[in-house]
Amino acid sequence: MPMKLIRYIGRFMRSPWGGWSLSLMDRYITSQLISPLLFSVGLVSVLGVAIGYLSDLADKVVDSNLPLMQALEILLLKVPEFTAYALPISVMLSTLLTYGRLSNDSELIAFRSCGVSLYRLIIPAVVISLVVTGVTFLMSELVVPAANYRATTILVEYLQEERPYWQNKDIFYPDYEQVILPNGDQEKRLRHLFFAEQFDGENLKTLTVLEWLEERLNRIVVSDSATWNRQEETWDFFNGTIYKLAPDASYQEADPFEHRQLPLTKAAFEFALQGRDPYEMNIVQAKQYMRILKMMGDDKKLRMFQVRIQQKLAFPFICVVFGVIGSALGATPQQMGRATGFGLSVLIIFSYYLLGFLIGSLGLTGLISPLLAGWLPNIVGLAVGFWLLYYFAES
């Protein structure tokens, strides 16, 4: 049955002359889907922002003295996130209500009496779902992470709020190197250990760096502040002292300085700079951060990011899942009013996200792979949708 659906999509998209075209039936169904889709996106986005964030933001303005202009900026920055969440939900609502209306008005019966199968009738919904999938992916990658990060930056700047992944204090970063042993084996050894009390986005404050050379502590660098020099690809240390140690780890020499450049790894600065919530990163940034976590040996946080990346990749394809399920249920012969359709949509969406949460939790605990944790809800949803489609098409 899925292969039959794919063949229908090909016929739907391609004309006999090799171009792209829509039949009169396709244009009609598509026009019926577009209006409720756009209305649902606007409605769900506004409700999401109002219910999910407006009350909390109002409390910050009243209780924490957040400036009103910054509060409005945060509110606008949250719109892309809720719009991305609204797109799959809107696909479900628009397909369920549109095909439900066509069924109630006996238009689907008329189409099927002319020999048009249910598989063919839902092709416009599937194609629109694929288009919305692309839009959702672009928004989730190009707009939402930057907007969320900016919103978090405003809260940290004006309210000094702390975030679980925001590295603005007590930054600890171990830098390892791979060493080849005489027997040919490789071993990971600690090369530098960075510790800074604060980070303001550009400067690490009260920074201490321990350096090892051939398994012994070689020197200690203490400075008031340090930053990464992007032009010269090195570190600039300010107002500090370099303590050199003897082979027996005893104190040997102190070298105070006002400004000193040291060729240390950039990874420590990247770690502090990229310490964001997974939803404040696009996939490329998340993978870069995962490499740092892997070097640090933070397996728990690494696995969490692996699961979140797969969920970010799988999330846009919820549009296709909801498109198939919504159109299959909407095309049922039973009469379905708008209230019933809306209630059924809410139930399906809630069940789907509950399933996604449970499966994601299994991935975070290591019981299933991150790939399975991200994509299994979509696989289950598509299987249910295709089964419903087959059941109603053959009944």
Predicted pLDDT of residue 133: 95
Q: What is the pLDDT of residue 38?
A: 92
* pLDDT for position 199: 84
Lowest average pLDDT, out of 98-107, 234-243, 339-348, 364-373, goes to 339-348
Q: Is the pLDDT of residue 237 over 70?
A: yes
Rg of the chain, C-alpha, whole Å: 28
Strands 251-262 and 169-180: unpaired
Instruction: Kindly indicate the confidence band of residue 310, based on its pLDDT and cuts at 50, 70 and 90.
Output: very high
Residue 167: per-residue pLDDT: 58
pLDDT at 337: 58
Strand partners, 172: 195
Does residue 165 carry a pLDDT above 60?
no
d(CA 343, CA 348): 9
Residues forming a β-bridge with 226:
204, 237
* pLDDT at residue number 10: 53
If you average pLDDT over each of 8-12, 148-152, 286-290, 377-381, which comes out highest?
377-381
105-115: average pLDDT: 81
Query: Which of the two residues, 6 and 235, has the higher pLDDT score?
Result: 235
Q: Give the per-residue pLDDT at 153.
A: 77
Burial 285-296 (b: 16+ CB within 10 A, else e): bbeebbebbebb
**Confidence at residue 370, expressed as pLDDT on a 0 to 100 scale:** 92
Task: Compute the distance between CA of residue 132 and CA of residue 90 in angstroms, rounded to an integer.
Answer: 10
Q: What are phi and psi of 367, to 5 degrees?
A: -75, -30
Q: Work out the average pLDDT over 274-296.
A: 74
Average pLDDT, the chain: 82
Residue 16 has a pLDDT of 40
266 or 4, which is more confident: 266
Question: Is 13 or 161 the better-scoring residue by pLDDT?
Answer: 161
What 3 state SS string does the chain have?
A: CHHHHHHHHHHHHECCCCCECCCHHHHHHHHHHHHHHHHHHHHHHHHHHHHHHHHHHHHHHHHCCCCHHHHHHHHHHHHHHHHHHHHHHHHHHHHHHHHHHHHHCCHHHHHHHCCCCHHHHCHHHHHHHHHHHHHHHHHHHHHHHHHHHHHHHHHHHHHCCCCCCCCCEEEEEEEEEEEECCCCCEEEEEEEEEEEEEECCCCEEEEEEEEEECCEEEEEEEEEEEEEECCCCEEEEEEEEEEEECCCCCEEEEEEEEEEEECCCCHHHHHHHCCCCHHHCCHHHHHHHHHHHHHHCCHHHHHHHHHHHHHHHHHHHHHHHHHHHHHHHHCCCCCCCHHHHHHHHHHHHHHHHHHHHHHHHHHHCCCCCHHHHHHHHHHHHHHHHHHHHHHHHHC
Predicted TM-score (pTM) of the model is 0.71
pLDDT higher at 369 or 286: 369
* Surface-to-core class of residue 322, CB atoms within 10 Å of its CB (0-12 exposed, 13-18 middle, 19+ buried): buried
Q: Taking Cα atoms as reference points, which of 98, 134, 127 lies closest to residue 12?
A: 127
Q: Is the pLDDT of residue 14 over 60?
A: no
Token pair for 346: 């809410």
Question: How does pLDDT run across 51-103, given as a tens digit for each residue?
Answer: 878 888 888 888 878 888 888 888 899 999 999 999 999 999 899 888 888 88
Give yes or no for a contact between 126 and 324, defined as CB atoms under 8 angstroms apart.
yes
Average pLDDT over residues 324-349: 75
Q: Can you read off the two tokens belonging to residue 331? A: 């095309």
CA distances 316 to 44, 46, 117, 185, 310, Å, are 17, 20, 28, 44, 11
**pLDDT score at 5:** 47
For residue 7, the model assigns a pLDDT of 54
